[in-house]
Amino acid sequence: MADRYNLKNPAVKRILQEVKEMQSNPSDDFMSLPLEENIFEWQFAIKGPRDSEFDGGIYHGRIQLPSEYPFKPPSFMLLTPNGRFETQTKICLSISNHHPEHWQPSWSVQSALVALIAFMPTEPNGALGSLDYKKEERRALAIKSREAAPKFGTPDRQKIIDEIHEYMLSKAPPVPQSSDSPSQTEGNASAQTEGSALTVIEEQASTHGDEPMNQPTNNEQTQLIPTNYAGNNYTEEQQPFQELQARAYGSQQQQIRRVQRPADDRLFNMAAVGLALAIMVLLVKKFIKSSGHGALFMDGS
C-alpha cells in the first residue's frame, strides 16, 4: 500500500501510521481499514455501546479523510440501519467536518470511533443526520445488524466491509434482553462509553507510533473547552465529547493547583520573615538614634 503513495505527503504519512497502529493494536469495540486504491476513504464498524438498546449490534460506516488531514476533520456516514443516525448521510458531530473549530490534529480515526460509540445513546434533538427511533425499534435493528454486512459501493469496498463484519461478529456478544429502567440504561451506557473514550483520547495524545502526533499547545488545550461551556450550550451531538474534554481539562487544572500550592506557601513564609527582619532593623535604628548612642558611634569613628 505504501508504494502507491508519496510518503513525503504529511497526510499520507499520518494515515499509514494510523493504519499500522490499528493493525498492531486491534480493538474488540471497532475495526476500520482504508481502501487499497484510496487510503483517504475508510470503511469501519463499531460495536453498540453496552447497557443500551444498541448493545450487541454491529454498525458499519464510511469515513472520508480530507487531503489536509490531520489538520482538518473527517466526515462520517453510517451504512447500517440503527435508529439513531440516517444511513448514507453525512452526520453532524463535534468531531466531524460539520464542526472544524472543535477538531484537534492530535485526534485520530481511532479516537473518533470511540467518540462515535459514545454518541450513540445520546438524544438527537434534531441534529443533522439524526433519527429518534423508539428503544424497541433500535433493539430490533441491533439484532438485524448481525445477520449480514450492508451492501455498499464497488466489489473492493464490499470485500473490506465483509471482512470487517466477520471480525466484529466474532467479538460482539449476543444482543441482551435488558430489564433495566430507561434511566439506569442511559446512565450505565454514558459512564462506560465516556470512560473508554477518554482513555483512548489521552493515550493517542501522549504517543503515536514512531512519530508523535502534533501535540496541542496549552492554548489549544484551553480551546477544547470553549469559554461559554455550560453543558446545555451545545447540541446533544456535541455535548458528550465536550464533557470528556471538560473532565480532562478540569483534572489537569486541579493537578496544577495542587503542585503550585506548596510553592506559594513557601514564598509567603519567606516574605513574612523578611518583613519581620526589616521591622526589627528599623526599631533598633530608632532606639539608637533616640538614646544618643548613634552620635557617640559617629564621634568614635
294 inside domain: yes
Q: Span 87-103, mean pLDDT?
A: 89
Residue 287 is predicted with a pLDDT of 79
Residue 177 is predicted with a pLDDT of 67
Give burial (CB, 10 Å; 0-12/13-18/19+) of 241. Answer: buried
Counted domains in the chain: 2
Report the C-alpha gap between 120 and 48 in whole angstroms: 8
201 inside domain: yes
In tens, the pLDDT along 253-297 reads 454 444 445 556 677 677 778 888 888 888 888 878 777 655 544
Grid cell locating 71: 489538520
61 inside domain: yes
158 inside domain: yes
Grid cell locating 158: 464490499
86 versus 228: the higher-pLDDT residue is 86
In tens, the pLDDT along 122-138 reads 998 888 889 999 999 99
Among 22, 92, 118, 175, the active-site one is 92
Which of 40-49, 94-103, 209-218 has the largest mean confidence? Answer: 40-49
Whether 13 is a known active-site residue: answer: no
DSSP line for 58-121: EEEEEEE--TTTTSS--EEEE-S--SSB-BTSB---TTSTT-GGG--TT--HHHHHHHHHHHTT
The chain-wide mean pLDDT, for the chain, equals: 76
* pLDDT exceeds cutoff 70 at 200: no
* pLDDT exceeds cutoff 90 at 80: yes
Report the C-alpha gap between 274 and 268 in whole angstroms: 10
229 inside domain: no
Q: Are residues 94 and 189 in the same domain?
A: yes
For CA atoms 109, 111, 117, 119, the dihedral sign is: negative
Residues of the domain holding 287 = 258-300
Q: Which of 215, 250, 273 is the last residue of a domain?
A: 215
Report the C-alpha gap between 96 and 117 in whole angstroms: 14
